[in-house]
Structure 1
């Protein structure tokens, strides 16, 4: 028997335009309601708290721990995680194709940057006690039927953290400090060939400072500007270049703690950005987990209402001052450019991606994948 489904949504005014955050009658991913969530759900439609906003679970048939995701569109999504497993859908998650990396069973996919159903660049790190050869970048041009290994660290002590592309062809990869400065690699052909960048214009890393291969969000690139976040010291910092990675400045954020870090830094234009992170060993802490900038990263300001715990991933909804942040104890949304955050759910997420057609996908451990559809 076929039953028609009705879509329900909540209209939210964002920068003068109505945005409907749609839910459906499909099962939603959410934890038992807490008072903060109840208050948020009861807020009027023009407030920063959309009613009944929830993730819709998406079955993949996999139990992998997913750490990388890229939503090219509502229909085309790539995700990857443990044991070199990469999955791809071209029909909004109804069917998934296993396009795992060849001979890469002891690696963890930590970042995926895709431009279509055929082209994707994947970054891996070693799993457990696997050797440093697990640090690699792979590229495919045929939807994952074949993969080419195109980059490994140039120093035995190197460790890749994350990637970001400013165009379909120009991209950057940052790695932990080697010789006192963060490693930086650049591609100008869509990830097929990479070169080590000249780092003389980069400030020296602080003692014990490093990056996080948390889920591909620790770097952002727009035009000639590049940013990446770091941790290991308090507070976490963000590095910024406005000339394609030649000269850099570094600034403190407000993200702090016993084991702090900027796990994700994302910009929606050359001035407005967000940084999220915190101490992943202290899930109960809701302090110092999110910051924003309005001057390209020269100064950072703490969000007046923080996410409810450390956050490992964040993404802007393209074209809007709306962003989603996710972490091991839930997800949050900001409708005011990062000034305040409101909870969505309490599920354990690792990272998130949103497409230009206003569809977001979040992923987590044990095969957890879900979709959030935002309708203009």
Structure 2
């Protein structure tokens, strides 16, 4: 979704303790938070494991977007932004390991770009630059194996636009829109870099605007079907993020940026139909499963001074607010540790 947030970068390595060992879900006192770059609003995050994570953001004062990486559990962070990042807003990062990552810069026309590194950010290649002025890419994701990935843009000529890679993000192609339903009046939200998610051949992305819907593809993005997301719609309302425990069990979270004091969620048990679920006392900007077998997930949101962190133990049917720590983006690794990031360059890690 089109926003007007400029980008600037700052140099820094910042301590964020690395003593976490427990895989238990965070409680209100279990986020350890540090400031990596106070000029950045971080909305892209990918946690590889308990030691390695990447964050990406845009400036609040008009300079360059930044990408940071840690390989020591947050003890130090390295500024590994692509060259020529002035004016770019990085809103998504998808990492394979401590060396390989793909980042998305958002914006209209050529501001939407994809960069890829295979040497930990020492060098980057521009893998995709949008040439359609009406397009505005919001998020990307990769299927397990990290070879096939998709990206989604706001509608062009009434249909969401999809790009796909089959070589790990080294190159991308714009897919034909014949398999995309009419999407007039709808938008994506680049709130957290997780408006699109993949589990294999299956992919989903969320939408808002005139209609709040979830789009599903079972052929790696060639064709799509859209269904009611069971979330509120509006100019700044809809689905902000999704996550799937498996190809059937999913949670979508969202809300309305015009009313950040409340958010909501919906759940799916078959990957296609969505039912309204638990309400939140803050925006649901991102969601991540912690314990997939026990239906435990976290959601975070930041906005309007009412952000917070909430947890579910029943697959999203009910949520308990466990703290006021506010973040835009969230990721949890299989061992149970979670990372989060947000405004003022903050990064948190569960301990």
TM-score (norm 2): 0.86
For 1:258 and 1:319, locate their aligned partners in 2 and report how far apart those are by CA, in whole Å.
31
Count of aligned pairs between the two proteins = 322
CA distance in structure 1 between the partners assigned to 2:181 and 2:230 by the alignment? 20
**Cα contact 1:239–1:249 (8 A) shared by 2:** yes
1:350 aligns with 2:331: no
Q: Aligned residue for 1:27?
A: none
Q: Give the secondary structure class of the aligned counterpart of 1:94.
A: coil
| Inter-CA distance 258–132: structure 2 relative to 1 (3 Å threshold) | closer
Matched, 1:87 2:68: yes
| Unaligned runs of at least 5 residues, structure 2 | 1-18, 59-63
Pick one of 204, 228, 231 that aligns with 2:208.
231
Deviation at 1:114, TM superposition (A): 0.2
1:264 match: 241
Q: Is 1:323 aligned with 2:300?
A: no
1:53/1:300 CA distance change after superposition, 3 Å: farther
Match of 1:275 among 248, 252, 265: 252
Q: Report the equivalent of 2:7.
A: none
- Runs of 4+ in structure 1 off by over 3 angstroms are 6-9, 19-22
Deviation at 1:199, TM superposition (A): 2.1
Query: What do the CA deviations read for 1:313-355 (whole angstroms, capped 9, x no partner)?
Result: 1112264422111111111111111111111222331111111
Aligned to 1:20: 24
| Correspondence 1:64 to 2:64 | no
Alignment of 1:116-195 (within 5 A): 116-126=97-107, 132-167=109-144, 168-195=146-173
Query: Contact between 2:69 and 2:78, CA under 8 Å: does it hold in 1?
Result: yes
Larger radius of gyration: 1
| Residue 218 of structure 2 is aligned to residue 242 of structure 1 | yes
Residue number in structure 1 paired with 2:13? none
Secondary structure at the residue paired with 2:24?
strand
**What does the per-residue CA deviation read over 1:46-90, in whole Å, with 9 as the maximum and x for residues that have no partner?**
xxxx6x553111342554211111000010000011122111000
Which residue of structure 2 aligns with residue 295 of structure 1?
A: 270
Q: Could you list the runs of 5+ residues in structure 1 that have no partner in the other structure?
A: 1-5, 10-18, 23-49
Structure 2: how far apart are the matches of 1:123 and 1:174? 11
The answer to which of 355-364 and 310-319 deviates more is: 310-319
Please name the residue that 2:187 is paired with: 210
Structure 1 range deviating more: 342-351 or 81-90: 342-351
1:318–1:354 contact (8 Å) kept in structure 2: no
Once residues 337 and 29 of structure 2 are traced to their aligned partners in structure 1, the CA distance between those partners, rounded to angstroms, is 13
RMSD: 2.1
Cα offset for 1:266? Answer: 1.4
Work out whether residues 80 and 121 of structure 2, in 8 Å CA contact, stay in contact via their aligned partners in 1: yes
Distance in 1 (alpha carbons) for counterparts of 2:120 and 2:178:
38
1:21 to partner: Cα distance:
3.6
The residue correspondences of 1:336-375 to structure 2 (distance < 5 A) are: 336-373=314-351
Q: Distance in 2 between matches of 1:226 and 1:144?
A: 28
Task: Decide whether the 8 Å contact of 1:54 with 1:344 is kept in 2.
Answer: no
In 2, Cα distance between the equivalents of 1:352 and 1:295?
Answer: 24
Q: Which structure shows the bigger proportion of residues in strand conformation?
A: 2
Q: Alpha-carbon deviation of 1:284?
A: 2.3
